[in-house]
Amino acid sequence: MIATSANCYPERNHRVGGGRNRLHVQGRAADVLIPGLSVWKMFALAERVPTFSKGGIDVNPYEVFIHVDFRGKKARWARVDGRYVGFEQVGLA
């Protein structure tokens, strides 16, 4: 597993357009990839990790990584046509 983005310093966060309360800045999120696995297989594995199953998981079908975080509540979303949408909005819930 490779973490492509984890703890993000406020200056870099500002440069990439991240929000002030972004979990990456708080050290509570990471973008990860597992070479050879699709984002959907990585999603299925993340769902089995208790911390992530109770936190956030973002899947972008056009990327090679997923976002995982521990926000304290379950959240699932995907990037579809340039917009972030909840799984339930696209029939994945």
Q: In what order do the strands lie in the sheet with 2-5?
A: 2-5, 29-33, 66-69, 56-59, 75-80, 83-86
Residues 6+ apart with CB under 8 A from 80: 61, 90
pLDDT above 70 for 18: no
Tell me: pLDDT of 22 over 80. no
Q: How sure is the predictor about 15, in pLDDT bands with cuts at 50, 70 and 90? A: confident
Global pTM value: 0.80
Please name the CATH architecture into which domain 2-90 falls: 2-Layer Sandwich (3.30)
Sign of the torsion angle spanned by Cα atoms 9, 51, 59, 38:
positive
pLDDT at 17: 62
User: What token pair was written down for 19?
Assistant: 């929000």
pLDDT digits (tens, 9 = 90+) for 46-84: 999 998 889 999 998 888 999 999 998 999 998 888 888
Question: What is the domain partition of the chain in residue ranges?
Answer: 2-90
Provide mean pLDDT across the span 30-40: 93
